[in-house]
Structure 1
Amino acid sequence: MSTDAVENAVVEIQVDGETVAAHPGELLIEACERAGTYIPRFCHHSRMKPVGMCRMCLVEVDTGRGPTLQPSCMLECAPGMIVDTESERTRKAQDGVLEFLLVNHPLDCPVCDKGGECPLQDQTMAFGPGESRFVEEKRHFEKPIPVNNNVQLDRERCILCDRCTRFAGEVAGDQLIHFMDRGGQTQVNTFPEQPFSSYFSGNTVQICPVGALTATPYRFKARPWDLDEVESTSTLDSVGSRIAVQSSHDRVLRFQGVDADAVNWGWLSDKERFVFEAYDHPDRLTSPMLRGDGLGNRTPDGDLLVAAPWNEALDVAAAALLAAPAGRIAVLGGARMTNESQYAWAKLAKGVLGTDHVDAQLGDGLPAEVVLGLPRSTIDQACTPGGTIVLLGPDPKEELGALFLRLRHAVVNDGATLIELTPRRTGLSPHAAHSLRVAPGDAADVVAGLFGARSPVGAASPSTDQLAEVGATLAAASAEGSPITVLLGRPSLAEAAGPVVDAALALHDHLPEARFLSLLRRGNVHGALDMGLAPGLLPGRTTLADAGRVSGAWPTVPTAIGHDTLGTLVAAAAGEVDVLVLLGADLLADVPDRQLAEQALAGAGTVVAVDLFGTDTVARADVVLPAVASTELDGTFTNLEGRVSVVARKVTSPGTSRPDWAIAAELAERLGTDLGFTSVDDVLAELREVSTVHAGITPEALAETTREGLLVEGLLVTDRPAPTSVPGRDGYGLRLVVDRSMYDSGVLVSHSPSLASLAPGTRAGLEPTDLARHGIADGEVVDLISARSTIQVVVVADAGVARGTVHIRANQPDVVATALLDATVPVTEVRVGRR
């Protein structure tokens, strides 16, 4: 039977006298719930395998041999099944289970954070016996104990449902929390001296059916009836996870994951879950600021940034823009903004100012024409059971946590085949069918070797046999018509985009049926590309050559393709940029080449920063305009699939901060142009007019699909980028691999008290053979020397990195790794100096 036939097949069962149509293999508890009959449960979770631990879901089932009590979470629907969820035997069983669960459960509901949203409370009221016959002393444990920085465990509340331990092992792959002891002393706990150091531990708090696991940031903050809630989209990374934003007294207190079937399945990384703390930090910018008079002239206050009224700050910024030729104005950043704000700034920059020196990517991404031009995959397509996934990019576990969980499930549970072409081991490596270590600059040669065109050279390269084996796997998948998805991103900040692009295009040439899923991580970066915040692009995945599409709404359109971030920074460093506008862009932290970023900030004429926080980059600006955070405005967001979902306002922004689209509109007014926007709906309406691919993105359509969002189809048609020439290896040097970790010194993490201390710090990882070749001991402090700078760092042996490379983390609090990088070369090489 075909897959479609199986999906459309039904079996009929009887539930409480009513006929219910179920799918073959569907669990009884889920079929009943879909039909409107709720069966109580504690251990069952639809995103994890059934275990039948709690027995709360016992129902009376007759399959032809007489009625018996069976756990509905373990029972698959079968034709002719007769189910009674309200019989006397069922009620008695539920009474008994609840009475046993309450034997040792403490009566501390008035001080328990789960009170008011507790399934144990609710089901005791609905299905319990009403009173307990137990009069003996309950068991007691020390309470609470921290299992990590953000999760507290009250063991005496635990009902041993196994949800948290199953999530840790089955979903996250971090089996760091277990059942311990036996009998009446059985408890959930961590191993001695080993905290629950998972990036996803907050999910165990959300799925815990009692108050055994609580989140430190929310503990004792509010009751459910004190909270207002709105569904929104996480803008932290490009996955676009669906979240519930909960607030009390105009202050966000909690993010909860929402189960969107197409995106995050309800899971969040801890970074996504707790990052809301940053939005309420006292360091938020609350009013505009000017340095001197904003135009480089000193005032009685000297050269300091001082608070200024909005009118004065906007006037100064507008005066600088009016005085500069279009070719000497540049706009960088914008990935943190909503689609509407991005469109407004694209219209201001390209349609009013006439500059095409616009780039939302900050030198760490891929060319827009590649991201928007290759056949696009969805997360569901990438995770198709039995499909093939090729990872040519960064570690999803470190950069795109919710996507990592989806990919891991596909590989571990659904039979997907994973092939890694990465410079170092990733969080998915233990489950990969083939895991090839590819040094920076070698990706195109390795891909060519997979298809027999030519073999890569160098001792660090995969062997011919390894390449042939991987090539055969891809050829077999292609011949069988199995879906192939390439996860595409920048594996290393110390490697230019060119070699990765060449490898991706080669995969596309050899596997034309393959689809690509972008791993660009920065917030709404894919929305920024769709809105035209990239050189040579206009809204709607079109180029400057299609200017007719916007001519009715835009006063002008650039005629020549402008600089990307790298080109803009080089021009600014040479004094060729009169006005540099930064839209949430912390150049000193975000741009891989820190030296170039510093030179650009020093060489630019007037720097206008639109931001949330006073970063090191903002401290060097001349005009500072405070913007609002994602919990403080309405709009839409485009994720890495091209899926548009709603961002909903929940609280009031601090001080006099304003939405980014409104700042663009007011600046345009001072430049003598009316953008035509007085609300977010105005911006979205104009976007529908100028972009054919966004024609269906209406408020009504979004309201109908709040959780799944709307997928925007359509590819950019443009010229193929020229191949990149990679220089040969320096026999004495090592190619540098610089990537990101989940926690770093980024502005949001460093302003979130629950996350700020979790950055791992910097260690240089060398393959043990290289360590021995250089005569360096594990744990020794060495100098890493590049053409740009020298840093001191501890070296550790790391068998997970490619030979001939050295790996370090970017943006850590102890070492500025990006000081080594030179963004103007394809790869950065370093030498190791012993101290």
Structure 2
Amino acid sequence: MTDQVTLTIDGREVTVPKGTLVVDAAEQLNIEIPVFCSHPKLDPVACCRMCLVEIVGPRGPMLQTACSVPVADGMVVNTQTPQVKETQEATLAFILLNHPLDCPICDKGGECPLQDQTMRYGPGFSQLLEPKRRKKKHYMISDTIVLDQERCVVCWRCIRYLQEWEDKPQLALFERGGATIIDIQEGKPVTAKTGGNIIDICPVGALTNRVSRFSYRPWEIERTPSICNHCSVGCNIRMDSRTHTLRRIVGRENMAVNDQWICDKGRFAHAWVNHEERLEMPLVRKEGALVPASWSEALQLVADKLQAIKGSSGADAIGGIGSAKLSNESNYLFQRFFRQIVGTNNVDHRNGSDVTAIATGMPALADVMKPQYGPDPKVDTIFLFGVDPSEELPILDVHLKRAVRRGKAKLITAHPRTIELTRYDGPHLSYKPGTEATLLNGLTKAALALTKEKPEGVEKLVADVDNSALKNFCGVDPDAVEAAAKLLVESEKALILYGPMAARGEIGQQTVNGLTNLALLTGHSERLGYVGLEANSQGARDMGLLPNRLPGHAALDNSDMRQRLERAWGCTLPKKAGKGYKTLLNEAGSAVKALYIMGANPASERPQWAANLEKLEFLVVQDLFLTETAQLADVVLPALSWAEADGTFTN
């Protein structure tokens, strides 16, 4: 149990865990101690001096920084003495000496800690008699972040975030004393994938969002909690809108997922939501051209054509392609429509990557198991196979890097490319594409030599893999393979994550089997998991948007699930396995007569698929824009973006 200490703050006792900072102990009593540099997610530096309080010691009361001093048993703290108030006023007066009078045009105005603390603790007049210092204003330090050095209070929050979380010291302090400024290093812009978080934690308007500058005032915006739709991490966000237009996106705290951080793609890439080319009404093809139509006309045409094709060619001549970018509710209703109304299992969502290994073979391990990973992975080893978090899942990357840098976990990577995480110590296996199964058998063989238990059949399975195969065929160092196997065997809790690169194509099933064998042998099968790239990759599978799985990952011949669904839907479900994404598009215009495509754009992926779509008897596309696929459609239905619809994602 954590040691507890009791102290007195402003005459009131409070008991907190040993090691708690004074500022956090005061917060438990609802006593506000003003801060600028202090932030709960950053290490303390005590540089702004705003949080000075009196702490009574053997020599009497002394001013100390509440943000950096840990509590002690019997400590007495005073936050309201005349000396404390005088110091707070003097600190604010110093900060305001050269601070510009930008409040009427500053994006931070109305939600600015400097404004709030000046009103509550500051002087009522300016003490500056000389001209203010002039520094750089409206200075681009990245494509999306604007720095105003005149507004900066030199709290170091931005510097510390980039160092402590991104491990990229791309901002630094320059000059000294009152001339101190924060600037980019050697003229190089901030390139951190999550660099936009420094905007959120800046206590003033020194760092602002170029995408949303001057487009709102804080008291005018409507705040809506939501989930980011750019990758499968599922970062919690808040969407701020004004006049029914999305203006900005900021992080929303969820300690089980993203802490309070979001990546730059999630923060800045939302202009498409308000884009002028968004579809606003249905389109139907008449005399070779798409023309506006009413909803009733468009929907009636879709119903009539699908019914006619079902009658002439059968239900299996019709197929549906959904999207892992859409909500659970949308994907559930989409697959239900095809199974209940059309009468076919021809539904899928796995665009192009064709990760068949995740939907077949070993559902108990590949489908259902979802190991938790987030701000605190609570594991001692992290093994990434065929996944590049920095490029694909930036917030996961931030948390993994922090765990490795702080000594909480050791790292193993296996990837055809040199990824960013390879700059950290650990076995890094840069294999040749297509050799995944052999590499995993080599890892299993090396692990087998280090374990006492020898599961039946495993030795025979990996007998043909030797150092020569690893070196010449896979292109990896056999010593690195042995080191990785040793780490996995010796680890108490290892997290093993793999992505679409490892599970796609003809060898995908072999790769998933190899990972499963390795995880079972080393005792980490509970923490083996697939990391999809799309926002709702997991949810789309959960909802049954697959040609060979019902909702809940149930097999098509699962009698219990079939009976439950048939009772709920009032129909008889089709038994024949459906056609997947690639098959539907390869057979479009021949065996497949009609397609309903929702949120996908296969015409942009392969010229042959675009040609096949033109041969269809009937094509329905539901999307936000007139995409390459929508331009080929007979009926185009507008869709709501994730920012406009209610629903859920499964990360």
* Correspondence 1:506 to 2:499: no
Residue aligned with 2:500, SS: coil
* Correspondence 1:473 to 2:487: yes
Q: Are residues 474 and 312 of structure 1, via their aligned partners in 2, closer, same or farther at CA, if it must alter by over 3 Å?
A: same
Whole-angstrom distance in 2 between the partners of 1:579 and 1:65 = 86
Residue aligned with 2:223, SS: strand
Q: Deviations over 1:699-753 (max 9, x none)?
A: xxxxxxxxxxxxxxxxxxxxxxxxxxxxxxxxxxxxxxxxxxxxxxxxxxxxxxx
* Correspondence 1:608 to 2:620: yes
Shift of 1:538: 2.1
* Residue 343 (structure 1) aligns with: 332
Paired residues for 1:552-701 under 5 Å: 552-554=567-569, 555-572=571-588, 575-589=590-604, 591=605, 594-639=606-651
TM-score between the two structures when normalised by the length of structure 2: 0.90
Please tell me the residue identity of whatever aligns with 1:406. Answer: H
* Residue 435 (structure 1) aligns with: 428
Whole-angstrom distance in 2 between the partners of 1:446 and 1:28 = 52
* Residue 133 (structure 1) aligns with: 127
Q: Deviations over 1:776-801 (max 9, x none)?
A: xxxxxxxxxxxxxxxxxxxxxxxxxx
Q: Are residues 30 and 439 of structure 1, via their aligned partners in 2, closer, same or farther at CA, if it must alter by over 3 Å?
A: farther
Please tell me the residue identity of whatever aligns with 2:336. Answer: K
Paired residues for 1:522-541 under 5 Å: 522-541=534-553
2:358, 2:503 within 8 Å by CA — same for their partners in 1? no
Please tell me the residue identity of whatever aligns with 1:92. Answer: E
Shift of 1:560: 2.2
Please tell me the residue identity of whatever aligns with 2:402. Answer: H
- Out of 81, 90, 98, the residue aligned to residue 104 of structure 1 is 98
Residue aligned with 1:410, SS: helix
Whole-angstrom distance in 2 between the partners of 1:183 and 1:59 = 23
Q: Are residues 380 and 108 of structure 1, via their aligned partners in 2, closer, same or farther at CA, if it must alter by over 3 Å?
A: closer
* Residue 453 (structure 2) aligns with: none
Please tell me the residue identity of whatever aligns with 2:602. Answer: L
* Correspondence 1:401 to 2:394: yes
1:63, 1:80 within 8 Å by CA — same for their partners in 2? no
1:382, 1:485 within 8 Å by CA — same for their partners in 2? no
Paired residues for 1:292-311 under 5 Å: 292=286, 299=287, 303-311=288-296
Shift of 1:494: 8.0
* Correspondence 1:367 to 2:358: yes
Q: Deviations over 1:307-345 (max 9, x none)?
A: 221112112211222122221121112322222222211
Instruction: Identify the range of structure 1 (100-109 vs 58-67) with the bigger mean alpha-carbon deviation.
Output: 58-67
1:607, 1:622 within 8 Å by CA — same for their partners in 2? yes
* Correspondence 1:547 to 2:547: no
- Out of 397, 404, 410, the residue aligned to residue 411 of structure 1 is 404
* Residue 301 (structure 2) aligns with: 316
Please tell me the residue identity of whatever aligns with 1:319. Answer: D
* Residue 383 (structure 2) aligns with: 390
Shift of 1:159: 0.7
Residue aligned with 2:150, SS: helix
Q: Deviations over 1:119-154 (max 9, x none)?
A: 111111112233232211111023211112211111
Please tell me the residue identity of whatever aligns with 1:486. Answer: I
Residue aligned with 1:22, SS: strand
Shift of 1:410: 1.5
Whole-angstrom distance in 1 between the partners of 2:334 and 2:396 = 29
- Figure out how many residues of one structure are paired with residues of the other and give that number: 615
2:320, 2:597 within 8 Å by CA — same for their partners in 1? yes
Q: Are residues 551 and 92 of structure 1, via their aligned partners in 2, closer, same or farther at CA, if it must alter by over 3 Å?
A: same
TM-score between the two structures when normalised by the length of structure 1: 0.71
Q: Are residues 285 and 351 of structure 1, via their aligned partners in 2, closer, same or farther at CA, if it must alter by over 3 Å?
A: same
Shift of 1:61: 2.1
Shift of 1:390: 0.7
Instruction: Identify the range of structure 1 (552-561 vs 119-128) with the bigger mean alpha-carbon deviation.
Output: 552-561
Q: Are residues 381 and 509 of structure 1, via their aligned partners in 2, closer, same or farther at CA, if it must alter by over 3 Å?
A: farther
Shift of 1:508: 2.8
Shift of 1:282: 0.8
CA RMSD of aligned residues (A): 2.2
* Residue 454 (structure 2) aligns with: none
Please tell me the residue identity of whatever aligns with 1:629. Answer: S
Paired residues for 1:484-499 under 5 Å: 484-491=494-501, 496=506, 497-499=508-510
Whole-angstrom distance in 2 between the partners of 1:210 and 1:136 = 23
1:334, 1:342 within 8 Å by CA — same for their partners in 2? yes
- Out of 334, 345, 350, the residue aligned to residue 356 of structure 1 is 345
Please tell me the residue identity of whatever aligns with 1:232. Answer: S
* Correspondence 1:163 to 2:157: yes
Residue aligned with 2:14, SS: strand
Whole-angstrom distance in 2 between the partners of 1:606 and 1:387 = 54
* Residue 764 (structure 1) aligns with: none
Shift of 1:389: 0.8
Please tell me the residue identity of whatever aligns with 1:389. Answer: I
Q: Deviations over 1:579-608 (max 9, x none)?
A: 11111001144x5xx245335424433221
2:37, 2:45 within 8 Å by CA — same for their partners in 1? yes
Instruction: Identify the range of structure 1 (325-334 vs 374-383) with the bigger mean alpha-carbon deviation.
Output: 374-383
Residue aligned with 1:155, SS: coil
Q: Are residues 13 and 317 of structure 1, via their aligned partners in 2, closer, same or farther at CA, if it must alter by over 3 Å?
A: same
Whole-angstrom distance in 2 between the partners of 1:498 and 1:95 = 67
2:620, 2:633 within 8 Å by CA — same for their partners in 1? yes
Give the unaligned 5+ runs of structure 2.
446-461
1:357, 1:562 within 8 Å by CA — same for their partners in 2? yes
Residue aligned with 2:649, SS: strand
Q: Are residues 39 and 107 of structure 1, via their aligned partners in 2, closer, same or farther at CA, if it must alter by over 3 Å?
A: same
Q: Deviations over 1:509-542 (max 9, x none)?
A: 3234341343211122211111111122222332
Q: Deviations over 1:396-437 (max 9, x none)?
A: 111112222122222112521111011112222212422110
- Out of 214, 219, 236, the residue aligned to residue 208 of structure 2 is 214
Instruction: Identify the range of structure 1 (357-366 vs 397-406) with the bigger mean alpha-carbon deviation.
Output: 357-366
1:382, 1:484 within 8 Å by CA — same for their partners in 2? no
Whole-angstrom distance in 1 between the partners of 2:103 and 2:530 = 46
Q: Are residues 125 and 436 of structure 1, via their aligned partners in 2, closer, same or farther at CA, if it must alter by over 3 Å?
A: same
Whole-angstrom distance in 2 between the partners of 1:86 and 1:463 = 64
* Residue 668 (structure 1) aligns with: none
1:50, 1:73 within 8 Å by CA — same for their partners in 2? yes
Please tell me the residue identity of whatever aligns with 1:521. Answer: L
Q: Are residues 63 and 528 of structure 1, via their aligned partners in 2, closer, same or farther at CA, if it must alter by over 3 Å?
A: farther
Shift of 1:348: 0.7
Residue aligned with 1:616, SS: coil
% same residue: 35
Whole-angstrom distance in 2 between the partners of 1:312 and 1:558 = 29
Residue aligned with 1:340, SS: helix
Whole-angstrom distance in 2 between the partners of 1:382 and 1:585 = 34
Give the unaligned 5+ runs of structure 1.
293-298, 640-835
